[in-house]
């Protein structure tokens, strides 16, 4: 397996990551802890905190506080998921009931606010203005990405540049910041911080594109309902390729249903099956490979520690992941 | 007038404060600017930014960036109002339609998130970890105060200590931070920062208590519907005094309606009239005077600049304000 070192290291670091996350959850006001835990504990592969830890270790930092630092971005991520749940009125999240369906809208909004503000306070407690700047920029960019995405929904005229701006904001900037914060915390030289930043941003772009490819996969394979993006009116790369290849009449009919959000479940299943048959999901992964190549190249400039090999495997993991 | 210097100085500083606020609003993602502006522009006396400016000037700082710094807390305040609007499903705010009724729930949640995250990024851009720590603590404490308040609603067993924790979180910590950030930005000595922090926190506690007294005043006087706290199930000091003086039978009936939120408009009007007749609103102002006295004493330790006199007038303003 091309990702065996990565998986072994994740298994090794996971207990300390989860312990740091639990400790951070205890800093939240007691009434919102259940709602916050529901979202934080229930999911995520903890790739963001792992990236912070790997980035710091790469530059020789052994300070255990890096687990806490890495978890601040996991909290920010959970906060955005909670506000998204309210906004989307989604019934489920990662196969479990969405937070607002269990705890209500009020608790979900407030628990999200509490997660974000305690994460922010935690970053500030490190006393390094560069960490504060990176974290606050990650927060603002994530928020801006989600706003852009919402305003681009049901828009068949979305350009590739607009799509790139959206995924950079909603996904890549957080992964970039996870890598950057680890390098800064480790006291890496400026060129090292830049390298990790470039690595993280490109890994993040690729991660989201593969996510968009996986959205067209059968539910049996991923555990997530097929075609969520199509139903929500997100013109991701595989859907854009599908649309662009349609003849004029079929495209007009697709556009009407896409813009009005009127696809039936049968439409969604048929379109996703066609996406797979015509290889648009595979082509999306190929496009993501461009970003992964930039990510790998960025690591030419970092120390040849064992973490460098693991970060290179992260690129393979992102390319090959099946769910 | 005991507050003539304060009012003249507010009038003098207001253009620069509003200009800084406008510039900050321009940093938000374009799609959420209208919703954010609706809340930020429509209201507020700008006392928080004014306090930051006065605190900095008191210690001899003439740097114009203090206007921007002061406005970050106004943005945080607006963000909390927006999320509150969604949570309360309030129809109006400061006499105008609430943000979510004009722009919808999604825009209101996201604009609040954007305001908070851009304010945070702006504070980080000052490069001083102490400012980041104060701002992030203000955010987390405000959030915790609101959570406490929501969980204490319709609870007739609320203690004075619990009430104090709630208002410290939801109001005083933000005003404290406005003063503290001004002093830190000015490079004030540690004792000066502490003095401004104590001043701000106590001004904030008193401000909220007077607000709670004003909630029982007739709408003609304040422009706000009478008895909002009673309807929402908030056991503020004047309502607590009213309840404590009831005989056992009347109290049981009050408690039932308070806990179940079933007061009619006639009940609310009658109870608020009784609060005024029995002087519980005046007694609440007297209790607030204890905090104001602590605020004034804290200023013994600061330079005898003209801003010191204006800050002392702020205490009079808080005590005497009629709306």
Give CA–CA dist A127/A124, Å, rounded: 6
Give the pLDDT band of residue B194 (cuts 50, 70, 90): very high
Condensed to tens digits (0 to 9), the pLDDT of residues A17-28 reads 999 999 999 999
Considering the entire predicted model, what is its pTM? 0.91
Q: Do B146 and A106 touch (CB under 8 A)?
A: no
Structure confidence at residue B94 (pLDDT): 66
Q: Do A127 and B129 touch (CB under 8 A)?
A: yes
Give CA–CA dist A309/A299, Å, rounded: 9
Give CA–CA dist A218/B237, Å, rounded: 59
Q: Which of residues 182-201 of B touch A (CB under 8 A)?
A: none
Q: How far is A85 from chain B (nearest CA, A)?
A: 11
Structure confidence at residue B43 (pLDDT): 64
Condensed to tens digits (0 to 9), the pLDDT of residues B39-94 reads 888 767 899 999 999 999 999 999 999 999 999 999 999 999 888 888 877 777 66
Give the pLDDT band of residue B12 (cuts 50, 70, 90): very high
Tell me the HSE value of A254 on the side-chain side, using a 13 A CA sphere: 21
Least confident piece of the model among A40-49, A296-305, B254-263, B268-277: A40-49
Give CA–CA dist B82/B35, Å, rounded: 9
Neighbour count for residue B210 (Cβ, 10 Å): 24
Write down the residue that tokens 């299943």 correspond to: A269
Q: Do A109 and B83 touch (CB under 8 A)?
A: yes
Condensed to tens digits (0 to 9), the pLDDT of residues B141-176 reads 999 999 999 889 999 999 999 999 999 999 999 999
Structure confidence at residue A213 (pLDDT): 96
Residues of A in contact with B117 (CB under 8 A): 116, 136, 139-140, 142-143
Query: Does residue A94 have a pLDDT over 80?
Result: no
Name which of B118, B120, B147 is nearest A31 (Cβ-Cβ).
B147
Mean pLDDT of A68-79: 95
Q: What is the DSSP letter of A172?
A: I
Query: Does residue B179 have a pLDDT over 60?
Result: yes
Condensed to tens digits (0 to 9), the pLDDT of residues A243-297 reads 999 999 999 999 999 999 999 999 999 999 999 999 999 999 999 999 999 999 9
Condensed to tens digits (0 to 9), the pLDDT of residues A165-206 reads 999 999 999 999 999 999 999 999 999 999 999 999 999 999
Residue contacts between A and B (CB atoms, under 8 Å): 125
Q: Is A109 on the interface with B (CB under 8 A)?
A: yes
Mean residue pLDDT across chain B: 93
Between strands A92-93 and A96-97, the pairing is antiparallel
Name which of B118, B121, B151 is nearest A31 (Cβ-Cβ).
B151
Are residues A101 and A91 in contact, defined by beta-carbon separation less than 8 angstroms? yes
Give the pLDDT band of residue A133 (cuts 50, 70, 90): very high
Query: Does residue A1 have a pLDDT over 60?
Result: no
Mean residue pLDDT across chain A: 93
Structure confidence at residue A313 (pLDDT): 96
Three-state DSSP state, B208:
helix
What ranges make up the beta strands (E) of chain A? 92-93, 96-97
Give CA–CA dist A16/B63, Å, rounded: 45
Q: Do A136 and B123 touch (CB under 8 A)?
A: yes
Q: Is B255 on the interface with A (CB under 8 A)?
A: no
B164 contact partners, CB below 8 Å, separation of at least 6: B205
Are residues B288 and B318 in contact, defined by beta-carbon separation less than 8 angstroms? yes
B314 contact partners, CB below 8 Å, separation of at least 6: B3, B6, B47, B51, B54, B203
Structure confidence at residue B44 (pLDDT): 77
Residues of A in contact with B105 (CB under 8 A): 86-87
| Burial environment of residue A262 by CB neighbours within 10 A (0 to 12, 13 to 18, 19 or more) | exposed
Q: ipTM of this complex > 0.90?
A: no
Three-state DSSP state, B92:
strand
- Tokens for A101? 């369906």
Q: Do B136 and A116 touch (CB under 8 A)?
A: no
Q: Is B110 on the interface with A (CB under 8 A)?
A: yes
Q: What angle do CA A256, A261, A267 make, to 5 degrees?
A: 80
The H or E element spanning position B93 is strand B92-93
Name which of B87, B142, B148 is nearest A106 (Cβ-Cβ).
B87
Q: How far is B135 from chain A (nearest CA, A)?
A: 8
Residues of A in contact with B133 (CB under 8 A): 121, 124-125, 127
Structure confidence at residue A43 (pLDDT): 65
Structure confidence at residue B96 (pLDDT): 76
Mean pLDDT of B319-323: 87
Query: Does residue A81 have a pLDDT over 70?
Result: yes
Name which of A87, A110, A126 is nearest B146 (Cβ-Cβ).
A110
Three-state DSSP state, A97:
strand
Mean pLDDT of B290-313: 96
Q: Which of residues 19-48 of A touch B (CB under 8 A)?
A: 29, 31-32
């Amino acid at each position: 397996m091309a990702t065996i070192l990565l998986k072994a290291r994740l298994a090794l670091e996971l207990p300390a990551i989860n312990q740091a996350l639990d400790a951070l959850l205890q800093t939240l006001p007691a009434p919102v802890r259940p709602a916050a835990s529901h979202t934080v504990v229930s999911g995520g592969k903890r790739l963001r905190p792992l990236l912070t830890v790997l980035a710091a270790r790469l530059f020789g930092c052994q300070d255990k506080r890096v687990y806490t630092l890495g978890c601040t971005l996991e909290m920010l991520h959970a906060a955005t998921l909670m506000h998204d749940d309210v906004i989307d009125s989604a019934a489920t999240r990662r196969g479990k009931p969405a937070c607002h369906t269990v705890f209500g809208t009020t608790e979900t909004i407030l628990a999200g606010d509490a997660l974000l503000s305690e994460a922010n306070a935690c970053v500030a407690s490190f006393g390094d203005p560069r960490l504060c700047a990176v974290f606050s920029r990650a927060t603002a960019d994530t928020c801006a990405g989600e706003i852009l995405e919402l305003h681009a929904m049901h828009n068949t005229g979305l350009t590739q540049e607009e799509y790139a701006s959206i995924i950079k904001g909603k996904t890549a900037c957080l992964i970039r910041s996870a890598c950057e914060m680890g390098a800064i915390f480790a006291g890496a030289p400026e060129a090292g911080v830049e390298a990790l930043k470039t690595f993280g941003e490109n890994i993040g772009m690729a991660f989201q594109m593969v996510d968009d490819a996986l959205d067209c996969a059968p539910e049996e394979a991923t555990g997530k309902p097929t075609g969520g993006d199509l139903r929500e009116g997100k013109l991701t790369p595989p859907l854009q390729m599908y649309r662009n290849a349609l003849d004029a009449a079929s495209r007009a009919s697709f556009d009407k249903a896409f813009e009005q959000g009127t696809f039936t479940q049968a439409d969604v299943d048929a379109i996703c099956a066609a996406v797979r048959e015509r290889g648009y999901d595979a082509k999306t992964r190929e496009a993501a490979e461009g970003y992964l190549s930039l990510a790998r190249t960025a690591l030419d400039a970092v120390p040849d520690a064992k973490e460098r090999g693991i970060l290179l495997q992260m690129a393979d993991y992102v390319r090959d992941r099946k769910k």
